[in-house]
Chain A
Amino acid sequence: MGFDIDRYTATSVSVHWDDLDLEDFRRHPLPPDSLRTLRYMADVEYHTVCYTRDLLTTPSHREADVSAFMTMWNREEFWHGEALAAVLAMHDVTVDYDVLKANRLKLGWKDRLDPIKQSVMGSLVGADFVAVHMSWGAANEWSAITAYQRMAELEEHPVLAELLRRIAKQEARHVAFYTSQARERLAASSKARKITRFALSRFWAPVGSSINTAADVRHVMTHLMSGPDGRRAARKVDDSISGMPGLGGLTIVQDALDELGIPA
């Protein structure tokens, strides 16, 4: 079944939390380890618009549906950042634009060269590369849902759980868009399947890897994805990814955890 882009744009809203009692975090604050994870998540959300830049360096921006989705998606993710920043603010952790900018500055050459690399690859393989982007996006959105669900389970904090549930609900719509795009493109082209399989197994890394330190990545993955429950969640994401045409057998999330040395 296709993704109804008009319905999506018409119902896209910024996640709201006015009705949630954030003051509850003053009485029941989150532990420092959880705040560090939340901080990472906020950074990733705010950074989404920069990923758009990578996606757009390929022919994908030429398609009206993709443009419409990107517009709403960027804004929803920005507000996920704002929502998480509001929680962090209750713990006197400030994430303002200057802090974000300082973080983006630390990225240096790797980040600057990404769009060049992507675009060169994109123009080499043309329209089939859009399948890579869409599959990549699907993997990231599935990861995001899983991360928020794991966070909610681990913290057992009712206000946080509700906020994360609202965010994850929007992530689920992002999954729906990316998978509908990816499935169609993968099904249509064996070249797309081959390139996507190659790119995901070769280059995929947990969301946020390119914008955070290795220590932060390891902290977040250990916090959310270690132990039997964490592994089970990782397997679920892998099952979803490998359920797409031509991607059977891929275990990119579990592989990434192994590579980072996250205890199972």
Chain B
Amino acid sequence: MARSWSTDSDGPAGFDVREFARTARGSMRDHLDLSSLAEGPLPTEVHDALAVLAVLEAATMPHLRNVLVTHTHKDARVTAFLVTWAFEKYWIADALRAIVDAGTGPSGAPAASAAARAGTAGKAGDRGSSGTASGGRGPVRRALAGLTQGWDVVGAHLALGLVDDLVLRAAYTRVLACSSDAAVHASIERILAVKERHSRFFDEEVRRRLSASGRAARLARRELRRTTWPLGSGAITVAERSAFTQFTFGVAHGRALEDLRGDLAALPGIDVRTVASVLRGLAG
């Protein structure tokens, strides 16, 4: 059946959300061959990074809450995407937990694996009681702000998704560089393949919306600056977050931070100050 897909900004939308929803990828457990992990536990830093990634990938609901209290909830194409995105990330997190469990040595779990299972208390993204993914503004303030921001806020929210995606991608890249285990490599490649469509949607939407509207770009700059990265930081401890950013972006590890700088700077309407602010939050 023929369907039209116009959006709020100029230009055609290429990403087929309906096709994405129809072909969503669920549990990966049957495809993971983790037998090689039984022979030797994962290096601690890889183990801990994967455990934190499992928490971050699963932390979709607080982010959904934050964006859906605004005008974003009215964009049915975006909400359809987010529903499927959350579903796929749930199963990515599940796969990561499987790897972490298989790669935990017989002596028991290193530091972060408890966090992978645990709920919440005292987390890195918490400021006061709001503990939101985007640092400190509760749903009431977001909803009130949303009243005046209109459609342009959708582009800003998608920019958050895009940057988060870039940050987690950098972490996966580090995991691949730090682990020689074949099972880890195959699993991470599989996860990255699932995430590829998320990246494509965010990238396409953000470019179109931010270049079509100066106001969308302005809101995006503000949201990017006030966010605690990565988005799910509200679900991990301060120590876990700093270990994670150190692992991913620590200066000894080459170009991760510079690559991210390049990707951010290439986004329409994102200025040097905003890029610097995001990177500062990640450099530790």
Contacts and interface: CB of A to CB of B under 8 A. Distances in A.
Among A50, A74, A78: residue with most chain B CB under 10 A? A74
B76 A97 contact: yes
A67 B120 CA distance: 12
Contacts of B17: 97
B264 to A, nearest CB: 28
Given A105-B74, A119-B138, A70 B61 contact: yes
Contacts of B117: 64
Contacts of A94: 1, 3
Contacts of A78: 21, 80, 83-84
B86 interface: yes
A165 to B, nearest CB: 22
Interface stretch (A51-59, A166-174, A240-248): A51-59
Interface residues of B, number: 42
A70 B90 CA distance: 11
A94 B147 CA distance: 30
A96 B75 CA distance: 12
B65 A71 contact: no
B87 A119 contact: no
Given A64-B119, A74-B83, A56 B62 contact: yes
A111 to B, nearest CB: 9
A57 B65 contact: yes
Interface of A: 9-10, 14, 46, 49-50, 52-53, 56-57, 61-64, 67-68, 70-72, 74-75, 78-79, 82, 89, 94, 96-98, 100-101, 104-105, 107, 112-113, 115-116, 119-120, 123
Interface of B: 1, 3-6, 17, 21, 24, 27, 58, 60-62, 64-65, 68-69, 73-77, 79-80, 82-84, 86-87, 90, 117, 119-120, 129, 131, 138-140, 143-144, 146-147
